[in-house]
Amino acid sequence: MRLVLRDITKRFGSVVANDRISLTVEPGEIHCLLGENGAGKSTLMNVLYGLYHADEGEIEIDGEVRRFVGPGDAMAAGIGMVHQHFMLIPVFTVAENVMLGNESTTGPLGRLDLESARERVTEISERFGFHVNPDALVEDLPVGVQQRVEIIKALSRDAELLVFDEPTAVLTPQETDELMGIMRQLKESGKAIVFITHKLREVREVADRITVIRLGKVVGEAEPTATNAELASMMVGRPVELVVDKGEGSFGDDALVVDNLRVIDQTGHVHVDGLSFTIRAGEVLAVAGVQGNGQTELTEALMGLQDHVTGSIKLNGKELVGRSTRKVLDADVGFIPEDRQVDGLVGEFTIAENLMLNRSFEMPFVRHGGLRIGTLREFAEDKLAEYDVRARDIDTLAGNLSGGNQQKVVVARELSRDLDLLVAAQPTRGVDVGSIEFIHKQIVATRDAGVPVLLVSTELDEVVALADRIMVLYRGRIVGIVPADTPREKLGLMMTGERPKDVVA
Amino acid sequence: MSTTADTPATVPDELGQVAVVSRKTPILLAVLVVGLALVLLFSDSVGETTFRVASRNDLFQIPDITVPGRATAWVMLAGCALLTGESFRRLLNQQKTPLWLVATYALLWMTAFLSWAAIGGRVPVVGLFGGAVALAVPLVFGALGGVLGERAGVVNIAIEAQLLFGAFAAAVVASSTGSAWAGVLAAALAGVLVASVLGLFAIGYFVDQIIVGVVLNVLVIGLTNFFFRQVLTPNAETLNSPERLSAVPIPLLGQIPLIGPVLFRQTPLVYLLYVTVAVVAFALYRTRWGLRVRAVGEHPKAADTVGIKVNRTRWRTVLLAGAVAGLGGAYFSLVAVSGFNREMTGGAGFIALAAVIFGKWDPVRATLAALLFGFASNLQGVLSVIGSPVPSQFMLMLPYLVTILAVAGLVGRSRPPAADGQPYRSQ
């Protein structure tokens, strides 16, 4: 299928998400859409998929202009989408998910024809070597397999063009490699592929053509032979430092000592099991691992946000297990939560109000239960400038800021106290490259000031860039704690639970 | 710790699951045993209790069973105590209390209770169960309506309103047309009418579904009270004296002892209920329609991306659910009594809602839950007829007490449809 998008414009209110974007995708090619978070890639694809309606422009398939009112039309035209957040129903089986919206029935009672759906799944699964059991419940499958179910879903509707929207965000390096293989295989069978990503490494590996989008506009095309630096500067619009400038650390005594930590949820699932590690003053311990391997529960246990925690967490000799979150904060622990929208900020509060959320009990912002507005405003003005938060003023609602600026507000709040420990979970997720650079510098500065840092990240690049030591988690257990210069391949292997023979658990 | 091994080690793939066994069940069982034991100790009634199992027109007659009341109660209660012990033993071994244990316990406890409560009298077993089925009719219809709506992602607090409006419409239409069946149809339509208001606000305008439901309940109470006083009471002859639906025994099936009179000598509304339960259960799990309804209630966005019209599906399901719940309303004014009376549903809609949760959003389980609540209601009636020593005010409380115990104590962890109660906006 040959797809041409011509001058697509999509506005949300006064924001122009797509500004006259044109794009051509040929059959049998992998076309990469490269751009930062918020550049408008997903909006464009949602227009193509019929989820949004373009304000201007047209979609042409094999020389014919088409109008899609809903995803049903796009699917009928042969467009399939592998969504970033899988569009699968967790309590349905694979076969039920694949047949949904496209069901065949048998008999006079209109009984669902599950048998033919099963066969279809098995047939496609075998053709591409997916190994997916049609009767498995989707919620029981690993993320990588769920993604294959999404691909099967699209293929079972005879999709000729497949859109992959940030497909590698949730995958291990190994699973990513497998996905790249699948994409090449699809390409060879004549499918057209649109691959949306912001990861330069992946682009250069599989792309036949690259289109770079910035702030809703196409800024140019690039060859797969372009260097990382070239692609990055096209994406951001200025030269970017991809490597964090980080000197030798000077490490003090063991500051955080975690011993045999175990976290259980209300239903009895063990999420973290037998974790023991230490972080020295002035050291960054980076926790690597695929999302959902106990990282969230580990940070929440540190912050007193989990109910069933056993073992011990000692910060400078003081026990943190069993303390309330407020008491943990009182022990001078800073926390950058992994989801700023849910746990980091109150979207309906102003920047200034958000900046005092962790100090709402005492001086300098509160006296005798009353807010000291003047002090707060002064403080907020300072932080706005210091942390380069791009906002009209301190009274802007946090919810109206871009992802990068929201995260800077969180970082500003957490780092503006004297810390004894910084827990940073996914500090740069969904943040533009410019802000990543800034936040990384702040974390390194914190470390250089002698504060122990626990960094959790699913981005291997970030882990390698910031870590002094790397701890790899798999299924809630430590695979190994290794030096920062460990090769990526080895780290990738460890993230799948394999412990290389020279690594001590 | 060993440093190097020849082969790379692998971190175990699965993490353990620590069994979290609720202590609620064994404790509840123990409390019930102790409670009944205390009652037995402090009461002084002596005599024999007769259980009457047979009824007229049975194929063959089972003789009455007469037992010494107190002694039987104590024996049965001892059985309950043993089962409670077993439940505690399982708790210590981190095991759950199985359903068969709870069911056996319930049977023994009921027998113990009845042996004592009906000392010197006769327990009409057929009447006890048959009445339970009849009383459960509005609860089952209401619960099925609730299950349908919630499976599609729309919480329906307004089951009570649908029942009440159904009862009102049934009485008026059956009286004015002279046909009870027209009344039944009108009840369904009344349910649809209430559902359409719910749908308009909950689906069309994204209003909080709980609030819409509560408001609808109050609104329908107000409306029916108004029309009852202003219109029905002055014209009772023409508008509020419907023909009652009477029992229609099914030949042969109805003559099987015990089962026959309980299940197959009922009103046509009960037979309609059997069909509805079967159809809803089949449709929800085995048809394209059901798959789509469940998809829309679990993950509407996913359903949208495969071309399913989310809100249209929800609308249809909510209207259908309204019709089903409305049917239950006909029971009140065409079966239980002849004619409408103010607030005659008496909270049945809320018990139906509890049955939805107790039944874990499954039509068959919700039906069983509703039957349990129906049994509790009927027990109250039967005991007051026998003239039991239990104060009648306490007995009136029984169905609601059972509801609370069931939902809070026994339901365990149940998972509602993931998108239950969340309005869906497509871009």
Average pLDDT, chain A: 89
Best mutation target, A42, A93, A100, to test chain B (most B CBs within 10 A): A100
* pLDDT beyond 50 at A402: yes
Of B282, B298, B305, the CB nearest to A71: B305
Task: Sort out which chain A residues have CB atoms less than 8 A from B1's CB and list them.
Answer: 504-505
Chain-chain contact of A87 with B305 (C-beta, under 8 angstroms)? yes
Both tokens of B6, joined, read 């020849």
Best mutation target, B95, B305, B426, to test chain A (most A CBs within 10 A): B305
In a domain, B5, yes or no: no
In a domain, A370, yes or no: no
The interaxial angle of helices B392-404 and B348-358, nearest 10 deg, is: 40
Query: Per-residue confidence at A235, pLDDT binned at 50, 70, 90?
Result: confident
Q: Verify that B43 and B167 share a domain, yes or no.
A: no
pLDDT the model gives residue B7: 45
- Tell me the DSSP string of A306-360: -SEEEEEEEETTEE-TT--HHHHHHTTEEEE-S-IIIII--TTSBHHHHHTGGG-
Q: Verify that B321 and B357 share a domain, yes or no.
A: yes
B98 torsion bin: left (phi>0), alpha (psi -120 to 50), beta (else): beta
Neighbouring CB atoms inside 10 A of B201's CB total 18
Average pLDDT rounded to a whole number, residues A94-105 = 92
Both tokens of A399, joined, read 């919810």
Q: Verify that A70 and A124 share a domain, yes or no.
A: yes
Contact by Cβ (8 Å): A298, A477: no
Contact by Cβ (8 Å): B112, B77: yes
Chain-chain contact of B299 with A474 (C-beta, under 8 angstroms)? no
- Domain-ending residue, one of A179, A207, A236: A236
Shortest CA distance from A477: residue in chain B: B11
Chain-chain contact of B5 with A501 (C-beta, under 8 angstroms)? yes
Average pLDDT rounded to a whole number, residues A115-133 = 91
DSSP state letter for A253: S
pLDDT the model gives residue B173: 96
Q: Verify that A232 and A259 share a domain, yes or no.
A: no
**Nearest chain A CA: its distance from B58 CA (Å):** 36
Chain-chain contact of A153 with B306 (C-beta, under 8 angstroms)? yes
Q: Verify that A119 and A154 share a domain, yes or no.
A: yes
Q: How far apart are CA A272 and CA A270, in angstroms?
A: 6
pLDDT the model gives residue A203: 87
Predicted ipTM of the assembly: 0.84
Shortest CA distance from B5: residue in chain A: A501
pLDDT the model gives residue B310: 94
Residue A169 to residues A84, A172, A205: CA-CA distances in angstroms?
A: 8, 9, 16
Task: Sort out which chain A residues have CB atoms less than 8 A from B96's CB and list them.
Answer: none
Q: For B343-397, write each residue's pLDDT tens digit.
A: 999 899 999 999 998 888 999 999 999 998 899 888 888 888 877 777 777 777 8
Of A46, A112, A266, the CB nearest to B288: A112
Chain-chain contact of A499 with B11 (C-beta, under 8 angstroms)? yes
In a domain, A378, yes or no: no
Chain-chain contact of B288 with A87 (C-beta, under 8 angstroms)? no
pLDDT the model gives residue B12: 64
Query: Per-residue confidence at B154, pLDDT binned at 50, 70, 90?
Result: very high
Chain-chain contact of A476 with B286 (C-beta, under 8 angstroms)? no
| 3-state per-residue secondary structure call for A50-61 | CCCCCCEEEEEE
Q: Verify that B61 and B202 share a domain, yes or no.
A: no
Residue B411 to residues A116, A339, B152, B418: CA-CA distances in angstroms?
A: 37, 33, 22, 18
Task: Sort out which chain A residues have CB atoms less than 8 A from B286's CB and list them.
Answer: 109, 111-112
In a domain, B109, yes or no: yes
Query: In whole angstroms, how large is the CA radius of gyration of chain B?
Result: 25
Task: Sort out which chain B residues have CB atoms less than 8 A from A79's CB and list them.
Answer: none
Average pLDDT rounded to a whole number, residues A130-144 = 89
Contact by Cβ (8 Å): A218, A211: yes
- Domain-ending residue, one of B337, B353, B370: B370
In a domain, B311, yes or no: yes
pLDDT the model gives residue A470: 96
* pLDDT beyond 60 at B3: no
In a domain, A95, yes or no: yes
Q: Verify that A308 and A336 share a domain, yes or no.
A: yes
φ, ψ dihedrals at A476, nearest 5°: 80, 5
Q: Is the dihedral of CA A70, A133, A268, A459 positive or negative?
A: negative
pLDDT the model gives residue B413: 60
Average pLDDT rounded to a whole number, residues B184-199 = 97
Domain that holds residue A104: 3-236
Closest CA to A164 of A174, A151, A176, A153: A151
- Domain-ending residue, one of B69, B97, B120: B120
In a domain, A458, yes or no: yes
Both tokens of A450, joined, read 């002698």
Shortest CA distance from A104: residue in chain B: B288
Place of tokens 């650079």: A437
pLDDT the model gives residue B164: 97
Residues pairing with A254 in the sheet: A280
Q: Verify that A68 and A111 share a domain, yes or no.
A: yes
Chain-chain contact of A72 with B306 (C-beta, under 8 angstroms)? yes
DSSP-derived 3-state class of residue A472:
strand
pLDDT the model gives residue B4: 38
Both tokens of A360, joined, read 């709402």
Contact by Cβ (8 Å): A465, A485: no
Both tokens of B267, joined, read 């009103």
Q: For B19-45, write each residue's pLDDT tens digit.
A: 666 778 888 889 989 999 998 898 888
pLDDT the model gives residue B325: 97
Query: Per-residue confidence at B295, pLDDT binned at 50, 70, 90?
Result: very high
Q: Does an H or E element contain A181, and which?
A: helix A173-188
In a domain, B424, yes or no: no
Per cent of chain B over pLDDT 70 is 93
Q: Verify that B113 and B153 share a domain, yes or no.
A: no
Q: Verify that A217 and A308 share a domain, yes or no.
A: no
Task: Sort out which chain B residues have CB atoms less than 8 A from A264's CB and list them.
Answer: 18
In a domain, A376, yes or no: no
**Nearest chain B CA: its distance from A303 CA (Å):** 23
Chain-chain contact of B17 with A89 (C-beta, under 8 angstroms)? no
Contact by Cβ (8 Å): A309, A263: yes
Both tokens of B10, joined, read 């692998």
pLDDT the model gives residue B1: 38
Closest CA to A1 of A41, A84, A60, A86: A60
Q: Verify that B72 and B149 share a domain, yes or no.
A: no
Place of tokens 């011993």: A259
Q: Half-sphere exposure of residue B307, counting CA atoms within 13 Å on the CB side?
A: 22
Average pLDDT, chain B: 88
In a domain, B413, yes or no: no
Chain-chain contact of A501 with B6 (C-beta, under 8 angstroms)? yes
Domain count, chain B: 2
Chain-chain contact of A273 with B15 (C-beta, under 8 angstroms)? yes
The interaxial angle of helices B159-177 and B310-330, nearest 10 deg, is: 60
Domain that holds residue B71: 24-120
| Helix residue ranges, H only, B43-124 | 69-92, 99-117
Strands A254-264, A161-165: pairing is unpaired
Chain-chain contact of A268 with B292 (C-beta, under 8 angstroms)? no
Q: Verify that B178 and B77 share a domain, yes or no.
A: no
DSSP state letter for A139: G
pLDDT the model gives residue B2: 39
Chain-chain contact of B16 with A270 (C-beta, under 8 angstroms)? yes
Q: Which residues contact A108 (CB under 8 A, 6 or more apart)?
A: none
Domain count, chain A: 2
- Domain-ending residue, one of B330, B345, B370: B370
| Cis upstream peptide for A364 (omega within 30°) | yes
In a domain, B348, yes or no: yes
In a domain, A88, yes or no: yes
How far is Cα of residue A319 from the mean position of the Cα atoms in its chain?
32
Both tokens of A485, joined, read 């210069």
In a domain, A363, yes or no: no
Average pLDDT rounded to a whole number, residues B319-324 = 97
Best mutation target, A43, A55, A89, A115, to test chain B (most B CBs within 10 A): A89
Of A87, A270, A504, the CB nearest to B301: A87
Place of tokens 């800021």: A401
**Nearest chain A CA: its distance from B290 CA (Å):** 9
What CATH number should be reported for the domain holding residue A146? 3.40.50.300
In a domain, B388, yes or no: no
Task: Sort out which chain A residues have CB atoms less than 8 A from B6's CB and list them.
Answer: 501
Q: Verify that B33 and B160 share a domain, yes or no.
A: no
- Tell me the DSSP string of A51-98: SS--SEEEEEETTEEE--SSHHHHHHTTEEEE-SS----TTSBHHHHH
Q: Verify that B272 and B360 share a domain, yes or no.
A: yes
Q: How far apart are CA A72 and CA A81, in angstroms?
A: 12
Q: For B251-270, write each residue's pLDDT tens digit.
A: 888 888 888 888 999 999 99
Q: Verify that A220 and A285 share a domain, yes or no.
A: no
What b-and-e string marks burial along A34-47, b requiring 16 or more CB atoms within 10 Å of the CB? Answer: bbbbbbbbbbbbbb
* pLDDT beyond 50 at B289: yes
Q: How far apart are CA B29 and CA B19, in angstroms?
A: 21
Shortest CA distance from B2: residue in chain A: A504
What's this model's pTM, rounded to 2 decimal places? Answer: 0.81
Per cent of chain B over pLDDT 90 is 58
Q: Verify that A10 and A117 share a domain, yes or no.
A: yes
Q: How far apart are CA B237 and CA B242, in angstroms?
A: 9
Task: Sort out which chain A residues have CB atoms less than 8 A from B151's CB and list them.
Answer: none
Best mutation target, B2, B15, B282, B286, to test chain A (most A CBs within 10 A): B15
Lowest mean pLDDT among A262-266, A430-434, B312-316: A430-434
**Nearest chain B CA: its distance from A330 CA (Å):** 32
Shortest CA distance from B412: residue in chain A: A267
> What residue ranges in A378-447 does DSSP mark as E strands?
421-425
Q: Verify that A327 and A281 share a domain, yes or no.
A: yes
Query: Per-residue confidence at B9, pLDDT binned at 50, 70, 90?
Result: low
Cα–Cα–Cα angle for B246, B252, B258, rounded to 5 degrees: 75
Q: Verify that A214 and A299 share a domain, yes or no.
A: no
Q: Verify that A56 and A185 share a domain, yes or no.
A: yes
Of B11, B17, B427, the CB nearest to A497: B11
In a domain, B88, yes or no: yes
Closest CA to A232 of A436, A411, A484, A376: A436
In a domain, A268, yes or no: yes
Best mutation target, B306, B415, B425, to test chain A (most A CBs within 10 A): B306
* pLDDT beyond 90 at A259: yes
DSSP-derived 3-state class of residue A366:
strand
Q: Verify that A285 and A425 share a domain, yes or no.
A: yes
Chain-chain contact of A51 with B305 (C-beta, under 8 angstroms)? yes
pLDDT the model gives residue B392: 75
Neighbouring CB atoms inside 10 A of A277's CB total 18
Contact by Cβ (8 Å): B117, B39: no
DSSP-derived 3-state class of residue A132:
coil
